[in-house]
Amino acid sequence: MADHDELQSPIENHGIIGDMRSAALVNDRGSVDFFCWPEFDSPSIFCSLLDTPEAGIFQLAPDLPDARRQQIYLPDTNVLQTRWLSDGAVVEITDLLPIGDSEDDLPVLMRKVHMTVGSATFRLRCAVRHDYARATTTASQDGSHICFTAPGHPSLRLCGDQPMTLDGNAAVAEFTLEQGQRAEFLLGGIDDPRLQGDVSAMCLERTLAFWRGWIGQSTYRGRWREMVNRSALALKLLTSRKHGAILAAATFGLPETRGGERNWDYRYTWIRDASFTVYAFMRLGFVEEANAYMRWLRGRVSDCCDQPTKLNILYGLDGRQELPEAELPHLSGFGNARPVRIGNLAYKQVQLDIFGELMDAVYLVNKYGEAISHQGWKHTVEVIDQVCTVWQDKDVGIWEMRGDKQHFLHSRLMCWVAVDRAIRLAEKRSLPAPFARWDETRQAIYLDIWTNFWNDEHQHFIQRLDSTALDGSMLLMPLVRFVSARDPRWLSTLEAIEKSLVRDGMVYRYRNDDSPIDGLSGIEGSFAACSFWYVECLARAGRVDKAQLEFEQLLRYANPLGLYAEEFDSHGYHLGNTPQALTHLALISAASFLDRKLSGEKNHWQP
């Protein structure tokens, strides 16, 4: 397909809507330019974000070229409103995926236009392109509706209260609204009964009530309530209503390096995010979400109980283990970043740190949510026994390096967390366990880290053996209570990280300049989650004023809707897949701890 870079909206110029089964991105020009249907990880039907409108798009906008554009969420919801303000007219377009009666209801894209001031002419173009724009989609007229079909793929129907015609294999319309007039369009499954009846008002009210009722349960009352609530709403939107798992991000293919090859598919759930997910939901009072996520995690542990080290790094939302990677060479990529990939080969990698994140989540849920079952504890013992055997092995590390396996500090650290949390849980619940072996292993890992991953010459911890490199994942050392946040060696490491990896509060995961270890060309942006971990480390070290300043600066790097992608470029613009769950999880953790420090409250939420 042709390359028309100017047609692609910046990553940060998007809002997200969703129904906990799928999600769509809407840019501030009124176009839905990314939508996978009917599941989060189904093939896309709109993918112009990664190419041109020929890859699928739903354009709907007034002809007001000089208007100022704004996007807002209706308060305390994931219902998005895009507004145009000009001298003679004001327009609102409200976009949502209605919350259905059942988790099995197919997603419906609802677009509602309101002419609030003056008059304007609107243009619509809906071009569904099945299977990542690889299939041949045919549009046909069915009375006043337009149907989109492609062999071997589910058909869709577009209906609306304005006349539509065909332009090739796209639906088009042009209409004029006067002040106070409205129009609406719905796109969904070809036989969905909600497209046939006058139910849009009820769907909107039910959806508004759902989101407001859910966020109303939040117990957070701190200084950054608006940003914390928006992060919580984004996380809930990314959570599978049916399975309880949470997506790493809603998108695939958005680059970590402009024009580079670091383009991955994040529409899956990572074990790495487990403890952060449980912590965030628990901390905000969403106990059921944390419990549901843990039930999903327990299913993955049960699947691999005979060989716990086969626990995958990531899974499909439905728990499937194989996520074969493929390239989409027909797509030009966002900003010409190629190749565009779907699937993720990381599912084949060995990453030892996941056991720590898993056990931290198990421990937190047992402390604040559902108690572990007999069978659950049996699986836990099997997992920890395996950790005692493999903790000294090489792996790819938290960042899923595609180079050679290494001995990574973070992997050692999280193996220590796994054994430590298992011992704590067994003691707390009076559960049977091989305490002597586990404690011997915990001590061995502890000594290994302090002996082999501390560099006397440079006076800081190191990313991996036989290296002097630093790593943003080191910021988790005090957060998981391995080292005191005010230990002199940790403070020396934090200072080294500030000099090497921090730029205006934005933290890089690692430096890849001189000797690439990740097997990829180019230098990625700074990692948003690491940046929020840095804030929390500052606060825990007693540098509260600096932590607050850095936190406020990071808040300014959010998009106008309060959303974050995975990374920032040197100007603070967004890079990578969006919205990124781990970023919002880290924001919630940093905001909660920093707020307590500023209020003089004692922290009761860490193990």
Check whether 516 has a pLDDT greater than 90: no
Task: Report the candidate in 353, 361, 349 with the shortest Cα–Cα distance to residue 398.
Answer: 353
Beta strands in 118-255, from DSSP E residues, in sequence order: 120-127, 138-142, 145-150, 153-160, 165-167, 170-177, 182-189
pTM: 0.95
At the topology level of CATH, where does 225-599 sit?
A: Glycosyltransferase (1.50.10)
DSSP string, 16-54: EEE-SS-EEEEETTSEEEEEE-SSTTSPEEE-GGGS-GG
For the segment 419-437, what is each residue's pLDDT rounded down to a tens digit? 999 999 999 999 999 999 9
Check whether 518 has a pLDDT greater than 70: no
Alpha carbon separation from 103 to 238, 243, 248, 446, 588 (Å, rounded): 14, 10, 20, 45, 27
CATH 2.70.98.40 for the 5-215 domain, yes or no: yes
Per-residue pLDDT band at 243 (split at 50, 70, 90): very high
Alpha carbon separation from 314 to 124, 165, 281, 351 (Å, rounded): 39, 44, 20, 10
Check whether 502 has a pLDDT greater than 90: yes
For the segment 351-366, what is each residue's pLDDT rounded down to a tens digit? 999 999 999 999 999 9
Rounded mean pLDDT of 106-132? 98
| pLDDT at res. 605 | 46
Give the chain's length.
Answer: 607
Per-residue pLDDT band at 310 (split at 50, 70, 90): confident
Check whether 515 has a pLDDT greater than 90: no
Check whether 601 has a pLDDT greater than 70: no
Buried b (16+ CB within 10 A) or exposed e, 26-64: bbbebbbbbbbbbbbbbbbbbbbbbbbbbbbbbbbbbeb
For the segment 144-180, what is each residue's pLDDT rounded down to a tens digit? 999 999 999 999 999 999 999 999 999 999 999 999 9
Task: Report the candidate in 153, 129, 110 with the shortest Cα–Cα distance to residue 52.
Answer: 129
| pLDDT at res. 258 | 87
| pLDDT at res. 304 | 67
Is 173 strand, coil or helix?
strand
| pLDDT at res. 308 | 58
CATH 2.70.98.40 intervals, the chain: 5-215
Tokens of 360: 């931290």
Question: H helices within 430-543, ranges in order?
Answer: 435-452, 476-479, 488-500, 528-540
Please, what is the angle between helix 409-429 and helix 374-390, to 10°?
150
Whole-angstrom Cα distance, residue 557 to residue 227? 12
| pLDDT at res. 493 | 98
- What are the residues whose beta carbons fall under 8 Å from the beta carbon of 114, sequence distance 6 or more? 91, 92, 93, 94, 182
Whole-angstrom Cα distance, residue 69 to residue 86? 9
Element (H, E) at 110: strand 109-117
Rounded mean pLDDT of 486-502? 98
Tokens of 371: 């108690």
Whole-angstrom Cα distance, residue 479 to residue 353? 15
For the segment 569-593, what is each residue's pLDDT rounded down to a tens digit? 999 999 999 999 999 999 999 999 9
Rounded mean pLDDT of 302-314? 73
Rounded mean pLDDT of 99-118? 95
| pLDDT at res. 401 | 83
Check whether 263 has a pLDDT greater than 70: yes
Check whether 514 has a pLDDT greater than 70: no
Question: Residue 487: how many CB atoms within 10 A of its CB?
Answer: 15
Per-residue pLDDT band at 607 (split at 50, 70, 90): very low
Tokens of 42: 């189904």
| pLDDT at res. 309 | 57
For the segment 435-449, what is each residue's pLDDT rounded down to a tens digit? 999 999 999 999 999
Assign residue 168 a region: left if phi > 0, alpha if psi is -120 to 50, beta otherwise? left
For the segment 53-68, what is each residue's pLDDT rounded down to a tens digit? 999 999 999 999 999 9
Rounded mean pLDDT of 230-259? 95
CATH 1.50.10.10 intervals, the chain: 225-599
Check whether 487 has a pLDDT greater than 60: yes
